[in-house]
A = this chain, B = another copy of it.
Amino acid sequence: MRPPVIWADCTREELREALPESLVVLPIGATEQHGPHLATGTDAAIVEAICRFAVVRAADSARMVLAPCLHFGVSEHHLPFGGTLSLSPETAIGVLTDLARSIVECGGRRLVIVNGHGGNRGVAQVAAAKIASAYDMTVSVIHYWELIADAGGTPIPGHAGEFETAMLFALRPEFVRQRRPRTPPEESGVDGAEMHEAAAWRRIDGYTDDPTRATHERGTEWLDECLGALAGRLIELANRP
């Protein structure tokens, strides 16, 4: 079994050899409030772990390089709750663009951004499009939770609700504190409209559904589904002509 290539663990010579033929996998997370019951490192911890595991699984089937995780994301809407380290969207786009430019200058031609935080959707899309045009590089974006095929009614990913709590049971159980059952407040969205509203976050105290529904078993299943799907997608992306 071929070992995976971890950028930070390699020398420049090893990377100069690997990059032109490899898919660079860049995990991006967040450090932000996750209600009173989850650690603020939740998003970064999950996305870093699943990328690492998926790259290991995929190492025999395709060439990949795993870049260091970006632990900070766009979390302006979580700042009022405390415990949050947020990048402005302009800075986040700058970081992603600078990293992609670096990869190109070092010989890389393919990049996938694996995103672990909903607030990063826009900047990931903006940066990917910009990079692809500016450097004639192939850039993909995967929001890891979209790899879950059917969650049986659980909001995916929600925020600090059943899904993320369960994922942490499987990956970082020490990140889960005492949970309180909650009846999620009635927040009727408008179908087909993506709404941004600070007051809405305040009404739900910064997290979505009921974290006490999360079980270790469910977390293991979801994690396994994510890993299988992610490894498959990475292999497909790496092996495209």
Indicate with 1 or 0, residue by residue over A187-201, a CB within 8 angstroms of chain B CB atoms: 000111111111100
The residues in A between 94 and 145 inclusive whose CB is less than 8 angstroms from any CB of B are 94-95, 98-99, 102-103, 105-107, 112, 119, 121-134, 136, 138-142
Asked if A165 CB lies within 8 Å of chain B CBs, one says no
Report the Cα distance A67→B237, complex, angstroms. 34
Report yes or no: B129 in contact with A126, Cβ–Cβ below 8 A: no
Stretch among A56-64, A69-77, A150-158, A216-224 lining the B interface: A69-77
Report the Cα distance A26→B110, complex, angstroms. 31
**Nearest chain B CB to A28 CB, angstrom units:** 12
Asked if A159 CB lies within 8 Å of chain B CBs, one says no
Chain B residues with CB under 8 A of A107: 82
Report the Cα distance A131→B197, complex, angstroms. 9
Asked if A87 CB lies within 8 Å of chain B CBs, one says yes
Question: How many monomers of this protein are in the complex?
Answer: 6
**Nearest chain B CB to A142 CB, angstrom units:** 5
Chain B residues with CB under 8 A of A86: 98, 102
Report yes or no: B193 in contact with A233, Cβ–Cβ below 8 A: yes
Interface size classification for chain A: 35 or more
Nearest residue (CB) in B for A33 is B12
Could you list 15 further interchain pairs (A-B, Cβ under 8 angstroms) beyond the known A76-B129, A128-B196? A8-B44, A12-B40, A12-B81, A15-B83, A31-B68, A69-B71, A71-B71, A72-B95, A77-B129, A89-B129, A91-B94, A119-B129, A122-B129, A136-B198, A190-B236
Contact surface of A with B, Cβ cutoff 8 Å: 7-16, 19, 31, 33-41, 44-45, 67-72, 74, 76-77, 79-91, 93-95, 98-99, 102-103, 105-107, 112, 119, 121-134, 136, 138-142, 146-147, 174-175, 177, 190-199, 206, 229, 233, 236-237, 240
Q: Which 9 A-B pairs have the closest CB atoms?
A: A8-B41, A122-B125, A12-B83, A132-B196, A122-B126, A91-B94, A15-B83, A12-B33, A76-B133
